Amino acid sequence: MNVHVGTSGWSYPSGKGRWNSLFYPATRSKRHGTAGFDELRFYAEHFDTVEVNTTFYGQPRAEVTAGWVARTPARFTFALKLYQKFTHPKMFREAALKAAPGSEGALLDLLAEVTRSDIDDFRSGIEPIARAGKLGALLAQFPPSFKSTPATRDYLAQLLRLFGDYPVAVELRHRSWSDAFGDTLQLLNGFQAAWVQIDEPKFRFSIRQNALPNVTGFYYMRLHGRNAAEWWRHERAEDRYNYLYSAEELKEFSETAAAAKALVKNVYLYTNNHFAAKSVVNAVMLKAQLGEPIEGEYPPELVERYPEIRDLVKSQVTSQKSQVTKLDF
pLDDT given for residue 329 in this prediction: 39
C-alpha to C-alpha distance for 298 and 151, rounded to whole angstroms: 48
pLDDT given for residue 260 in this prediction: 96
Amino acid present at 292 = E
pLDDT given for residue 114 in this prediction: 82
pLDDT given for residue 121 in this prediction: 97
- H-run or E-run covering 127: helix 116-131
Q: Provide the 3-class DSSP secondary structure of residue 147.
A: coil
Q: With a cut of 70, list the residues of the chain below it in pLDDT.
A: 1, 28-35, 89-112, 317-329
- Please give the full DSSP string across 32-71, using - where no structure is assigned: G-TTS--HHHHHHTT-SEEEESHHHHS---HHHHHHHHHT
DSSP-assigned beta bridge partners for residue 138: 80, 168
Q: pLDDT tens, 262-302?
A: 999 999 999 999 999 999 999 999 999 999 999 999 999 99
Taking alpha carbons only, the member of 48, 19, 3 closest to residue 298 is 19
C-alpha to C-alpha distance for 132 and 67, rounded to whole angstroms: 12
Amino acid present at 104 = E
Amino acid present at 18 = R
Which value, in Å, is the radius of gyration of the alpha carbons in the chain?
20
pLDDT given for residue 205 in this prediction: 93
Q: Please name each of the domains of the chain with its CATH number.
A: 3-328 (3.20.20.410)
Amino acid present at 27 = T
Taking alpha carbons only, the member of 261, 252, 268 closest to residue 220 is 268
Q: pLDDT tens, 155-203?
A: 999 999 999 999 999 999 999 999 999 999 999 999 999 999 999 999 8
Residue 279's CB is within 10 A of a number of other CB atoms, namely 30
Amino acid present at 92 = F
- Please give the full DSSP string across 11-37, using - where no structure is assigned: ---SSTT--BTTTB-SS--GGG-TTS-
- H-run or E-run covering 77: strand 77-81
C-alpha to C-alpha distance for 253 and 162, rounded to whole angstroms: 32
pLDDT given for residue 113 in this prediction: 75
Burial 116-144 (b: 16+ CB within 10 A, else e): eeebeebbebbebbbebebbbbbbbbbee
Amino acid present at 296 = G
pLDDT given for residue 100 in this prediction: 46
Q: What is the CA angle 171-176-181, rounded to 5? A: 80
pLDDT given for residue 25 in this prediction: 87
pLDDT given for residue 326 in this prediction: 47
Can you say whether residue 224 is alpha, beta or left, with left for phi > 0 and alpha for psi between -120 and 50 degrees?
A: alpha
